Amino acid sequence: MTVADFSLEQTSPARSGEKTARPPERRMSPLSVLFGSLGSAVLTIALGAVLILVLPRIIQWGVIDSVWSANDGAACREATGACWAFLRAKFRQITFGIYPPDQQWRPFLAMILLFACILWSLPPRNWGRSLLVLWATAIAAFLILMQGGMFGLALVPSAYWGGLPVTLILAVSALGIGFPLGIVLALGRRSAMAVPRILSTGLIEIIRGLPLVSLLFMSSIMLPIMLPDGMAIDKLARAGVALTIFSAAYLAEIVRGGLQAVPAGQEEASRALGLSWGQAMRLVVLPQALQKVIPPLTNTIIVMVKNTALVLVVGLFDLLSSGKAALTDPAWPSPFTETYLFIAAIYFVMCFGISRYSAFLERRASIGTAR
């Protein structure tokens, strides 16, 4: 009997070709969903009334009376609708911050590289050690493109980075490093040895008891004061470390919950089959534990993506900061609504994509369990 056979026996009642019959899914027509009961009918009518009142005004403001093209803010000041021309004029500033305009092809290429790696990482068939090599290479290439100073690229210090590339690299580093660190902390908190258990528990509880803003402040303001003379750490790197530690503490508790949901007999039987503790964790226990906590993991990942906006308080220009900086141009009437709608749309696309991917993983896990 192999480890896979044992794990399958524990998680599925079906054996030797037997299939568990599933009850037929009940499908309801759209009309039944909207008016199938008194409560549904009332909610549908109320929502319809709100849409009738609000939707025409939104269309009037956002489409009919809006300004789509203008060289300056004069046309927007006279218009009563949205000033989408501002977004066209400030698109590069919002997206790339104060990065030198003649070098903005570099952050664009760096973002394409990160998005390509993210897309390549989605199919489970690509998960493996080669993926780690790919990500290490992609991060190195991203930093080289953004920083420069080699291969004929002009040097651009991180103080001039901004916009979407900063948001992406902070989110990727915080989650990419924070997730394995969270697994280590979760295993340490469940360890039978006192020292790893006390250290892991202490770190998790301390970090969870502090707001992220205070960690960012300490890493960006207090840490340079405590360092020896002549030693300096890049501000972006310090913010990335704070976000990584913060995410690791929360991810550790989620992973620990998944580990507690796995029956103790799984590890015991794995050890009886001759597996070491590390092999039992890696091949049997952790895969089952992570399957059980996909929804809370997704929630924490989405929260951390949005938490990258808090680096504004330590002077870093992420996507939100770049949008606020663009609004200070006196030549334009400061269209706050349009700018924040654009930024919100970018965050929504990223977070909704994460949500849909987690739903795919949940379906995949449920199919594997039902076999």
What pLDDT is stored for residue 162 in this prediction?
87
- Give me the residues paired with residue 317 across strands: 162
Domain annotation covers residue 164:
yes
Full residue range of the structural domain in which residue 198 is found: 44-69+80-99+156-370
Query: Is 235 within the bounds of a domain?
Result: yes
CB 304 within 8 A of CB 207: no
75 or 302: which carries more pLDDT confidence?
A: 302
Nearest to 84 by CA among 104, 61, 101: 61
Tens of pLDDT along 308-363? 888 888 888 888 889 888 888 888 887 888 899 999 999 999 999 999 999 998 88
Residue 22 lies inside a defined structural domain of this protein: no
Percent of the chain surpassing pLDDT 90: 32
In a domain, residue 135? The reply is no
**Residues in a beta bridge with 83:** 67
Question: Are 356 and 364 in contact, with CB atoms under 8 Å apart?
Answer: no
pLDDT category of residue 13 using cuts at 50, 70 and 90 = very low
Q: Tokens for 89, please give them.
A: 């004029």
Question: 322: domain CATH number?
Answer: 1.10.3720.10
| C-alpha distances out from residue 362 to 13, 167, 201, 286, 357, Å | 19, 27, 29, 16, 9
Residue 31 lies in a domain: no
Specify the DSSP class assigned to residue 330: T
Entry pTM:
0.81
Residue 131 lies in a domain: no
Q: Is residue 273 part of a domain?
A: yes
What's the confidence (pLDDT) of residue 65? 83
Which DSSP category does 22 fall into? P
- Please count the structural domains in the chain: 1
- Alpha-helix runs per DSSP H in 122-263: 129-147, 164-189, 194-208, 212-217, 223-226, 235-261
| Closest by Cα among 258, 284, 278, 285 to 186 | 258
State the chain's maximal CA–CA distance in angstroms.
Answer: 78
61, part of any domain: yes
What does the block give as tokens for 26?
């009940």
Q: Average pLDDT of 4-16?
A: 45
Q: What is the rounded CA–CA span in Å between residue 200 and residue 67?
A: 56
Which two tokens mark 318? 């992420």
